[in-house]
Structures are given as structure tokens and as C-alpha cells.
Amino acid sequence: MKNMVYIQSGGPTSVINSSLYGAFKEAVRHPDLIDHIYGSINGIEGLIEGKLFDLREEDPHDIELLIQTPGAALGTTRRKLPKDIKDPVYMQIVHNLMKFSIKYVFINGGNDSMDTCNKIAQLCDEMNLDIQVIGVPKTIDNDLACTDHTLGYASAAKAVINSIYAISKDALCYKEGKIHIVEVMGRNAGWLTAASDLVPEDGHPDLIYLPENKFDVEEFLKDIKDIKERKGYGIVVISEGIKFERDTKNAAVDSFGHVQLAGACTELARIIESRLGIKTRVVELSLLQRANPFLLSRNDRDEAIEVGERSVTAALEGKTGQMVVMKRVSNEPYIARFELVPLGDVANAEQTLPKEFMQDKTRMSDAFRAYLKPLIQGNIHLIYKDGIVELTNFKKKVIK
């Protein structure tokens, strides 16, 4: 028996299940080389606890729906494995790899997950286990090293751009409007916030604040006042990762007296209202950035499927400790080449937003727009039932 196990890890995206779909479809094409195709329930935890299920036992319709289902269909986890490879948890993993006759391991995740993936590859190597371990890149933050972009980023960017454009039609239709602050995900990386620069002129943000730049509250207030005076309303896009000194003295406290800080943008809205008396509305795009089937990039979705397929191909060719990445060849026409890189190179590095992609606080550079534009192309025709999108719902019957 030569089985494979597929693991989804970390925060989900709109296309993480598309990579699973690609890997599943490629595995099915090789019945001579792969017997069972297992999903690990809730990320690496499934492999630690021996909680796997057989993907071929699921309804084929649920498999087909993977390419339009956000979130992690196998379940995911934020659990980080210990640094010490001698930790007993690694022995539990090895135990289950043997028990379930696993020959191929796929871990689909971001930086932390690639570190885990790398450790398991090393462990198998040290123990002379004939197991191939392959990483599948994913994160809406686009901060993974060694790849032109990460799977999931483009769909999140497309959701951010289109959502801001749509709500601008609502936000800007009053004569005496408010300042709208839109909060965008991306942790400490400004990639996703920067995407808002692609919103067309008639809904373009007046200001874009990236976490890469110093955030000065006084300067911010000056900019807001200026917009209000000049236009009467405005749209300001702020990354969740910006940092500024918080007012803990006047903050809310819970019943134990603990200070409870509001989100950064809520706090900034309060400061605008109390210092400038300007009405401000905070719009968090929240989970609809990374879990949005309605604004999928076809390019992102198709690349996610192909990377899933190529991960299986690489494993079948005997590759291990590698991750499939994309290298861009050209923007117009958009051409990207798929390659393999060692997991070690990915695990301890980060792709930061290059200086040449930034211009000023109202614009990104032409180079950034040329970079992002091809990634958001193409729409998906979704399957609906009675006006409601159909999404994968696996039964996940645990294998005894």
C-alpha cells in the first residue's frame, strides 16, 4: 500500500481547496502509484492524532465544489510544532505515517506551515523513511519567499478591489458624506492593502496606509481634515498591521478592570470624531476578503489547481523537501513558470513589499499595478442552488 495524505494549514483562503482539488485529481490519475488519498482532519493535528479520512469516500459532487469553496474543507489548525525535532510529537507523526502506509505527504500553508513541512521532510530523511514531503504555497498575505506570488493572494486582492469599488458607490452618494475607513487584512505585510490602488478613479481611495510605512496620528488627522474640506467625504484604506501609540488611559475596561483595546481602525475613527468632529464609518472587509467565492480570480483558482497537480507529480517523481513556486516570465501576456524550491529556502524567509512598488500615501507605483493586474483576471461561473451558492461539506468519516 502506498497512500498519500493531504494537510491544510493556517488561515484559509478562497482557493486553498482548489489546490486540494488539483492534488486529488492528479492522484486519481495514478491508481498504480497511489492507493488511498487521505485528508488530515484539522491540519497537522489529524496526522498527530491519527484522524484521517478517505477523500474517495466523499460525494463526487463535493469534490467538484472544492474549486468554489472558501475555507479549509479538510479543517485546519494554527498549532505550531516544537522547534526540537526530538519532541515526542514528531514520533507520533512518524508512527501514524507508518500506520497508515503513507508514501506522500502534502502540506498546504504559509511560512509557519512550510517550516513544519520542512521538519517532517528532514525527519523522514534522517530516519531513512521512503516518504516524499511536498509543500503547497498559500496565504492571502503574499509574504512567502521564493515565489512571484502566493495562491490566494490574487483572489483576496480582487475581493478587496471590487468590494471597495462597490461600496464607494454607496459611501460617496451623499453630498455631505462621511470619512469611510476600510480595514484590510495582511498582517505585517502591505500587499493586500496596496491592492486597493487598483480601484478605478471614481472610487479610488484618497489615502492608503501600509504597515511598511511609519504611521503618525497627527499627520493622519491633518490628511483627513484636508480631504473633508476639499471633497466633503473620502475613502481611506488602512492595513490591519499599522502601528501607533494607543490611548490606554481612556479605553474601555472589562468587569475585571482589564483594558480592552478596540481595533486600530475603530480607534482611529474615534480619534477623528473626537478631535475633528468629522463623522467616520469603519468598514472591515473582514472574512469576506479571504473567504469570497463571488470574487474569485480565475487565474488564481487555475494556478491553485495546477500547483496541487504539480505537487503530486513532483512527489511521484521522488522529489521531497520541496515546494512548488511560480516564477513570472512576463506581464503581457502574463506567463508564469512553475518550479520547485527547497523548503528550507522558504521556511525562514519573507517576501516584503519592494520599495519600488510604493509611490506615496495616495498611490502605488506603475510597477505594482503591472505586477497585480494579470493576477486578478478572469471570473468563475459558480454553481448555485435556489439562489444560494453550493459549497463542499465533507462527511469526514474517520478511518479506523
- My answer on whether omega of the bond before 60 falls inside 30° of 0, hence cis, is no
**Calculated CA dihedral for residues 360, 366, 372, 378, nearest 10 degrees:** 130
Residue 217 in contact with a second copy, rule: CB under 8 A: no
Nearest distance from C-beta of residue 153 to a second copy, angstroms: 13
Binding residue for a second copy (CB under 8 A) from 61, 89, 91, 174? 174
Binding residue for a second copy (CB under 8 A) from 31, 83, 88, 175? 175
Residue 204 in contact with a second copy, rule: CB under 8 A: no
The contacts of residue 227 (CB under 8 Å, 6+ apart) are 179, 206, 207, 233, 234, 236
DSSP states along 301-319: HHHHHHHHHHHHHHHHTT-
Binding residue for a second copy (CB under 8 A) from 287, 329, 335, 398? 287
Place of cell 504611521: 215
Residue 288 in contact with a second copy, rule: CB under 8 A: yes
Find the binding residues for a second copy in span 326-355 (CB under 8 A): none
Nearer to a second copy, 30 or 373 (CB): 373
Nearest distance from C-beta of residue 82 to a second copy, angstroms: 19
CA–CA dist 99, 56 (Å, integer): 19
Sign of CA dihedral 300, 302, 306, 308: positive
Binding residue for a second copy (CB under 8 A) from 18, 76, 108, 116? 76
Nearer to a second copy, 88 or 387 (CB): 387
Nearest distance from C-beta of residue 295 to a second copy, angstroms: 6
**Calculated CA dihedral for residues 282, 288, 290, 294, nearest 10 degrees:** -140
Size of the site for a second copy (CB under 8 A): 74
Binding residue for a second copy (CB under 8 A) from 284, 302, 339, 345? 284
Residue 262 in contact with a second copy, rule: CB under 8 A: yes
Nearest distance from C-beta of residue 176 to a second copy, angstroms: 9
CA–CA dist 361, 1 (Å, integer): 58
130 is catalytic: no
Nearest distance from C-beta of residue 78 to a second copy, angstroms: 7
Nearest distance from C-beta of residue 72 to a second copy, angstroms: 4
- Using an 8 Å Cβ cutoff, are 181 and 193 in contact? no
Find the binding residues for a second copy in span 36-75 (CB under 8 A): 42, 45, 69-73, 75
CA–CA dist 393, 383 (Å, integer): 14
Find the binding residues for a second copy in span 292-311 (CB under 8 A): 292-295, 297
Residue 199 in contact with a second copy, rule: CB under 8 A: yes
The contacts of residue 210 (CB under 8 Å, 6+ apart) are 190, 193, 194, 239, 242, 353, 358
Q: Please, what's the largest Cα pairwise distance for the chain? A: 71
Which listed residue (141, 143, 206, 300) is catalytic?
141
Find the binding residues for a second copy in span 114-173 (CB under 8 A): 158, 161-163, 165-173
The contacts of residue 354 (CB under 8 Å, 6+ apart) are none
Catalytic residues: 141
